[in-house]
Amino acid sequence: MTDLNKSTRRQFLKVGGAALVALPIIGMSGTATAATNAAVRAALQYQTTPKDGKQCSTCANFQPATKGCTLYPGDTEIAPEGYCSAWVIKK
Ligand code: SF4
């Protein structure tokens, strides 16, 4: 094996190793930014569309800064135009 081949092989292994380390980190960060609380969504019949003119953006429980809801721990994907059976008018 020539020195050129050894160098190329070493570079390939370095880049491959870095990619293997980076992939789980990218995957975990993607999961963290798109968290939903499936159990509460199911229990309260959450939907991503308004119902009878009621929607999350007009609900007292909606947390627009975090895209959350006080009744949905850890859920950061509550849509302003979503709705669930716990809707309460914002005062
Ligand atoms: S209680 Fe229901 S309707 Fe109100 S903000 Fe939360 S998910 Fe939306």
List pLDDT tens digits, range 39-78: 999 999 999 999 999 999 999 999 999 999 999 999 999 9
Does the Cβ of 84 fall within 6 Å of ligand 1?
yes
Q: Is the pLDDT of residue 19 over 50?
A: no
Tokens 């380390």 belong to which residue? 21
pLDDT of residue 43: 98
Are 72 and 78 in contact by the 8 Å Cβ rule? The answer is yes
Radius of gyration of the chain (CA): 23
Q: How far is the CA of 63 from the centre of ligand 1 (A)?
A: 9
pLDDT of residue 52: 98
Does the Cβ of 75 fall within 6 Å of ligand 1?
no
pLDDT of residue 21: 39
Q: How far is the CA of 75 from the centre of ligand 1 (A)?
A: 11
> Ligand 1: which residue has its CA nearest to atom 4?
87
pLDDT of residue 33: 65
pLDDT of residue 77: 98
pLDDT of residue 8: 56
Q: With left for phi above 0 and alpha for psi between -120 and 50, is residue 26 left, alpha or beta?
A: alpha
Q: How far is the CA of 34 from the centre of ligand 1 (A)?
A: 17
Does the Cβ of 68 fall within 6 Å of ligand 1?
no
